[in-house]
């Protein structure tokens, strides 16, 4: 079975990885503004890769998972900022 290494697949996988890393960074950082910034950047990257992979449902699922983790990072940062 051949494995696809297209740009869309790579972008969506990287969006997932960046989303997970931003969520992990949000939980481990002591500065909440950095967590919100990292989450916002990850959301933008996730939306761009979601647009790129809109023709393949598997790619869209990867990008959506990355966006979800980036939203978690933003929410953790905002919670730390205002609590």
User: Over the stretch 46-69, which tens digit does the pLDDT of each residue have?
Assistant: 999 999 988 889 989 999 999 999
pLDDT of residue 6: 82
pLDDT of residue 46: 94
pLDDT of residue 2: 59
Distance CA 68, CA 49 (A): 13
**pLDDT by 10-residue block (mean), the chain, 83 residues:** 73 94 94 94 95 90 95 95 89
| Mean pLDDT (the chain, rounded) | 91
């Amino acid at each position: 079975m051949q494995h696809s290494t297209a740009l869309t697949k790579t972008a969506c996988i990287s969006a997932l990885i960046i989303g997970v890393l931003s969520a992990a960074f949000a939980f481990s950082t002591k500065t909440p503004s950095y967590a919100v910034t990292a989450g916002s950047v990850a959301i933008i990257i996730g939306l761009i890769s979601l647009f790129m992979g809109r023709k393949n449902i598997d790619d869209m699922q990867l990008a959506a998972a990355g966006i979800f983790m980036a939203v978690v990072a933003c929410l953790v940062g905002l919670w730390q900022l205002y609590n």
